[in-house]
Amino acid sequence: MSPGGSVELLSRVPLFSELSREELERISRVSVARSFPAGVRVFHEGDHSDACYLVRRGDLRVTREHSDGRAIALATLGPGDLFGELAMLDGEARSASVETLTDSELLALPAADVRRLLADRPEISVKLIAALVKRLRETNERVARQSFQTVPSRVAGVLTQLIAEESATTGSQGITIRMTQADLAQLAGTSRESVSRFLATLERAGVVRVGRGRVTVVEPRRLRAYIF
């Protein structure tokens, strides 16, 4: 990515929106563009932290693992999202893993430079705190939903959220979510078998069409009727 492109990307991130052109260029000069194919880890839970990342292109998922090997999805990320800042700020190991759902382009921001920026500009620290609180609230809401909703309700809720985030417009062919049933199971906090059974029910009802590594939602309004 060209220096100018990095500056423009940084300027569109709410956390950096009030920085001057000179300050944005300072961050851009130390940033490193990185590309990742779909289906790989950017970093693993427990890794040492030396940078945070800004998403330029692609979709990613944040997960944590239980001792029994199960992975729980905490959030999905897209263009303009910043991640990896927790461990970078407190010096501890990574608290979660981040993996790519699609081919992705990221901008790595070295920890020492970001800490220096926060020390020089306290108002940026306030914005960072607000962003972290928002992410914590979203995680709490997701955990609460998964605790009280039925499996069909959770899966329908995840599909509805993914539709809302999908940039494609709804046409006669519906909206296609490119995600495996195992991925949907992680996001919904359930098993792949449970997701498969519910998708089969939806397909028989004409609400979705299921393909290899994708689900096409033909009737979004009818899908929302399964959320309760």
Burial 181-206 (b: 16+ CB within 10 A, else e): bebbbbbbbbeeebbeebbeebeeee
Domain stop point among 128, 147, 166: 147
Beta bridge partners of 215: 177, 210
Across residues 87-103, what is the average pLDDT?
Answer: 83
Q: Strand 51-57 to strand 82-83: parallel, antiparallel, or no bridges (unpaired)? A: antiparallel
| Tally of domains in the chain | 2
Domain stop point among 101, 123, 147: 147
pLDDT tens track for 46-86? 888 888 899 999 999 888 876 666 667 777 788 888 888 77
Looking at residue 168, its pLDDT comes to: 44
Among 149, 141, 142, which Cα is nearest to 226's?
Answer: 149
Looking at residue 226, its pLDDT comes to: 83
Q: Residue type for 55, please?
A: V
For 20, the domain range is 3-147
- Does 48 share its domain with 122? yes
Distance, in Å, from the CA atom of 149 to the CA atom of 207, rounded to the nearest integer, reads 20
What is the CA 186 to chain-centroid distance, rounded?
13
Neighbours of 27 (CB within 10 A): 21
Asked if the model's pLDDT at residue 34 lies above 80, the reply is yes
Q: Could you tell me the CATH number of the domain that includes residue 194?
A: 1.10.10.10
- Does 9 share its domain with 101? yes
Which burial class, exposed, middle or buried, applies to 142 when counting CB atoms under 10 A from its CB (0-12, 13-18, 19+)?
buried
Q: Are 223 and 156 in contact (CB under 8 A)?
A: yes
Average pLDDT value over all residues in the chain: 81
* Residue in the block written with tokens 């509805």: 160
Query: Is the torsion defined by CA of 222, 196, 185, 44 positive or negative?
Result: negative
pLDDT tens track for 150-182? 888 888 888 887 787 664 444 446 788 878 888
Q: Are 160 and 145 in contact (CB under 8 A)?
A: no
Neighbours of 2 (CB within 10 A): 9
Q: Could you tell me the CATH number of the domain that includes residue 75?
A: 2.60.120.10
